[in-house]
Chain A
Amino acid sequence: MRAPNEIDFWRGFALLTIFINHIPGLYFERFTYRNVSLSDSAELFVFLAGWALRKLCDGPIAGFSAGALVFRIQGRAFQVYLAQIFITEIAIALLAAASLIYDAPFLLDWHNASAVFNDPVRAHLGLIALTHQLGYFNILPLYVVLMFIAPLVALAQRFAPQALLPVSFGIYAFALISGVNLTTWPVEGTWFFNPLSWQFIYCLGFVLAGADGLGAFARRHHEMLRRVAAPIVLAGAVVALMNFSPSPAAVPQPKLVFMFDKTFLSPVRLIHSLALTALFAGAFVTIRRLAPAPSKYFSMLGRNSLNVFCAASLLSLIFQIFRFVYGGRIATDAVIVVSGILIMGLVAWTSEWRGRISADSPKKADSSKKALSPSPSRWASPPRLASAAVRYYMPRRRQLP
């Protein structure tokens, strides 16, 4: 388990924000940063995904052959794909169960689920092909596409690093200018997150995480970039608070370039998101000093981002159903947020606990089994669980600043 770090912290922060933003009408949604920002946690999440890929490529798999690298990264893509299929199916079952329990057939409509019940033959093909996506369950399909192209990104970095960003920008600009997006089926429409557009912020995260090139430049000139970023972030806050959005009639062609469009990641959103990154990069040191416990907690969420994301997506749907049944009040909304944070933490903690147990050497496990017998299984051994808990909660000096 790695020590709390900046990337995991912000990823955990993005996960919590996504959880809150995915419960419509929730009182505490107004305190999330998208209300004072032109970009939101989705940009942060995808940027950090690119960043994490670079850390993987420069670190644990730096010495891999090209073939091994492709296989290693593709494995992650399949893992994300399976997670998407799994949580979508659970979400469908949750809606089905709620519609039966509460005699509410209209819940089968929520989040574009109705095709699964009314047109199951085509909808199931769409689910597997990722062309049928439930609302709020549409960021993982983007992530799957990004993970499938990740080997290309990694190989480009290895063999033609100068070409990576220009090609990525070319695809981004093509999508913005042409308005081309992947289509959905059987429900007629397009992807909420256009992969042709969003791959650019992913690649930017990848390039900026590097110790050389643009990454080195950004680190060398961080102070200057921060000075440039501050007014952009401030202007973004003012524009967001004014609820301003450009008029398509008033802007020249290609209009998507000048809009604040999320699907196509319009340049304003991209620039604002990069400005936020520049402004807050490095702030983790201060945050960890001022608030060590939340820093550790968010980092733990971020370290287990896929499991926590899956749990958060399902939790937000469960709490939407809860709000339909019991209504939306500030007190119950507060309970929802606190429960969500705790359950997300529990999911992260159990993921790490499982990981630690399976990482223990068989020899060590055998000796401890002897010592702790008569428990027949080390998985169920209470003293080991207790020791894992103690290990986690005891402060470790090497992780503190």
Chain B
Amino acid sequence: MELKNFATVLEKQGPVRILAIGSSSTAGTGSSSSTKTYPSQLEGVLKRALPGAEVVVINRGLPGEVAANTALRIRTEVARAKPDLVLWQLGTNDALSRVPPKEFEATADSTIRWLKSNQIDVVLVGLQYTPRLAHDPNYAAIRDALQLVAVRENVLYVSRYDAMRFMAQSRADLDLMSHDNFHLNDLGYQCMAEHVAHAVIVGVSMKKFAGHAELK
């Protein structure tokens, strides 16, 4: 699950390019400005966490898009932006559009394999939590399908659902949601950026540890 290619570019001290693609949570619906979206905030977090590294995050979120259409855009954007890492946020709109989970899995599987064959690391960012859809069977089925894909393809998976549910149920005295109670606000996107940054840094460190293990 380590981010091999991303770590290699970091080691060579080259600029690392991250393509953040997906739907509204990537575009930043609910944030107060384009600098408060999760990809923008992630760039800041990673620059602080990886001192000296040149990190560029490109935001290609398109609200309300299903994975099959994002998969098409991924191919265009990869050819144009040449990223080392793709952060793909997906699943919510497929669940709401009632895309069959098998079809969703097939789209995600083939796209991840294509990215891997292009030496591009992948981190999947999952569906958000909202009480309104907590008992929706299709929502759960797509969430399970995404988890299955992540395991099968051996890629990092950020389970936003669990994190957001924990925050909602622990009744933390923090307002992380925007007024529609579905999208995050600026602070929520900061949390999400930190959550994703944590996964990326763990992924990079795993390569380091793997390297040490081989040396030993």
Contact = CB atoms under 8 A, between A and B. Distances in A.
Interface of A: 24-25, 103-115, 118, 135, 179, 187-189, 243, 245, 247-249, 255-256, 259-264, 320, 323-324, 327-328
Nearest to A324: B96
Interface string B39-77: 000000000000000000001101111101100110110
A113 B23 CA distance: 11
Interface of B: 23-24, 27, 29-30, 34, 59-60, 62-66, 68-69, 72-73, 75-76, 78-80, 82, 92-94, 96-100, 103, 110, 114, 117-119, 130, 132-133, 138, 180-183
Contacts of B182: 105-106
A104 B97 CA distance: 13
A327 B62 contact: no
Given A114-B24, A115-B63, 11 more contacts: A24-B99, A25-B99, A106-B96, A107-B96, A109-B63, A109-B93, A110-B93, A114-B63, A247-B118, A256-B80, A327-B138
B63 A259 contact: no
Contact of A324 (B80, B82, B97): B97
Contacts of A256: 76, 79-80
Contacts of A104: 132
A263 B59 CA distance: 18
Contacts of A263: 73, 76
A270 to B, nearest CB: 16
A105 B177 CA distance: 13
B30 A118 contact: yes
B75 A323 contact: no
Contacts of B92: 106
* Most B CB within 10 A of own CB, among A25, A115, A187, A249: A25
Given A248-B79, A248-B118, A25 B97 contact: yes
Contacts of A259: 75-76, 79
B23 A25 contact: no
A188 B59 CA distance: 8
B96 A118 contact: no
Contact of A25 (B72, B98, B183): B98
A109 B76 contact: no
B95 to A, nearest CB: 9
B76 A261 contact: yes
Contact of B64 (A105, A113, A189, A260): A113
Most chain A CB neighbours (cut-off 10 Å) among B34, B79, B181: B79
A335 to B, nearest CB: 14
B104 to A, nearest CB: 8
B108 to A, nearest CB: 13
A187 B92 CA distance: 19
Given A24-B66, A106-B130, A261 B34 contact: no
A264 B76 CA distance: 9
A247 B79 CA distance: 8
Nearest to B128: A106
Q: Count chain B CB atoms within 10 A of each CB in A107, A108, A327 and give the residue with the most.
A: A108
Given A109-B29, A255-B79, A261-B76, A323 B97 contact: yes
B160 to A, nearest CB: 14
B24 to A, nearest CB: 5
Top 9 closest pairs, chain A to chain B, by CB: A25-B99, A328-B98, A110-B64, A105-B180, A248-B79, A109-B64, A114-B63, A24-B97, A24-B66
Contact of A112 (B64, B76, B119): B64
Nearest to B58: A188
A323 B75 CA distance: 28
A220 B42 CA distance: 60
Contacts of A109: 23-24, 29, 63-64, 93, 183
A323 B118 contact: no
Contacts of B130: 106
Nearest to B181: A105
25 contacts: A24-B68, A24-B69, A25-B103, A106-B92, A106-B132, A109-B29, A110-B63, A110-B64, A112-B62, A113-B64, A114-B24, A114-B27, A114-B64, A135-B62, A135-B69, A187-B27, A188-B34, A189-B60, A245-B75, A249-B118, A256-B80, A259-B75, A261-B75, A323-B97, A328-B99
A179 B78 CA distance: 12
A259 B79 CA distance: 8
Contacts of A324: 96-98
A184 B37 CA distance: 18
Nearest to A184: B62
| Residue among A104, A187, A248 having the largest count of chain B Cβ atoms under 10 Å | A248
Contacts of B94: 24-25
A107 B94 CA distance: 12
Contact of B63 (A105, A113, A249, A320): A113
B97 A103 contact: no
A245 B114 contact: yes
B132 A103 contact: yes
Counting chain A CB atoms within 10 Å of each CB, the highest count among B98, B100, B119 belongs to B98
Nearest to B78: A248
B121 to A, nearest CB: 13
Contacts of B24: 109, 114
A106 B184 CA distance: 12
A104 B132 CA distance: 8
Contacts of B117: 247
A247 to B, nearest CB: 5
Nearest to A327: B98
